[in-house]
Amino acid sequence: MNSMLYRQSLVLGSLFIILSEFMFASMGAAVKAVSAEMPNEMIVFMRNLFGALVLLPLLWRYGWRHLQTRIWYLHVMRGGFGVAAMYCFFYALANMPLASGMLLKMTSPLFIPLVAIAWLGEGITRRALLAVVVGFIGVILVLQPQGGFEAVAVIGLLGGALAAVAKVTVRRLGRSEPTTRIVFYFALVATLVSAVPLSWSWQTPDTDSWLLLLLIGIVGTLGQLLLTRGYSIAPPSQVGAFTYTSVVFAALFGYLFWDEMVDYLFVIGALIIAVAGMLVLQERQNVSLNRARFDNEPL
């Protein structure tokens, strides 16, 4: 009976994650579409504003006391790094093929061990280090640099590094904070931070742009909630590979809407990045590097 329940949890968790990645790929396609008319600063702000508004019914249900927290500084930190990663990610989506931009977002697991070393003073196993190196070889195959990386690719990779810092912060928040609180505070902090550039970049959207911006906010927030729900049902080491389905969905959208094609080097590189990312996360979970120290680290 227990094994049957476990298999059911794996199936259900996998479905939640695949659906969340479809949402993220849809958000990416909407970002690319609206970027032809709206500046990046406007898109990031509207993504977070509409995301916060989508969460208001949940807060009404649970009550405003649900927002009370003693570790507000971690929420601010998570929001700051998260919105910085979002600027980089949206810029990459607007200026390179959709599948490539989405894949650069998925490089964040490769940066997590490096963040843990630099920030938390944790160690890294040889297998994890090898996986990181192999993963970046996959990045080279995907980007196929001719004499050097283009600026947009560097910005996309920077987004992956910033997202890794945000994810390390989320791991600490997840020990005591409920999902809705983490997601709402991210939307709140990100909205306030991304409102600052509007003083010089505001542009009134037309009807089509409003619809796309609304879509970005809704599906992005739903994707966050579905992903978190999936990981709460099934172990990340068992279902985490499905997070890379967003690249498949993005490649499909890129082909349908922008006639973008992926070559065999992209496919090989994407598979390498996916396998390397999963090995890094699984290695960290299996050996539980400095787990007690991580949980008690005064961030």
The pLDDT assigned to 70 comes to 81
pLDDT (tens digit, 9 = 90+) per residue, 78-111?
999 999 999 999 999 999 999 999 999 888 888 8
pLDDT (tens digit, 9 = 90+) per residue, 197-256?
998 989 999 999 999 999 998 898 888 888 878 877 877 667 777 888 899 999 999 999
Phi and psi at residue 290, to the nearest 5°: 50, 45
User: What is d(CA 126, CA 23) in angstroms, rounded to the nearest whole number?
Assistant: 35
Per-residue pLDDT for 147 more than 90?
no
Most confident of the ranges 47-56, 161-170, 211-220:
211-220
Per-residue pLDDT for 292 more than 50?
no
pLDDT (tens digit, 9 = 90+) per residue, 262-274?
888 888 988 998 8
User: What is d(CA 59, CA 264) in angstroms, rounded to the nearest whole number?
Assistant: 46
Q: Which two tokens stand for residue 246?
A: 């967003």
Tell me how far apart the terminal alpha carbons of the chain are, to the nearest angstrom: 41
User: What is d(CA 125, CA 142) in angstroms, rounded to the nearest whole number?
Assistant: 26
Output the pTM of the full model. Answer: 0.84
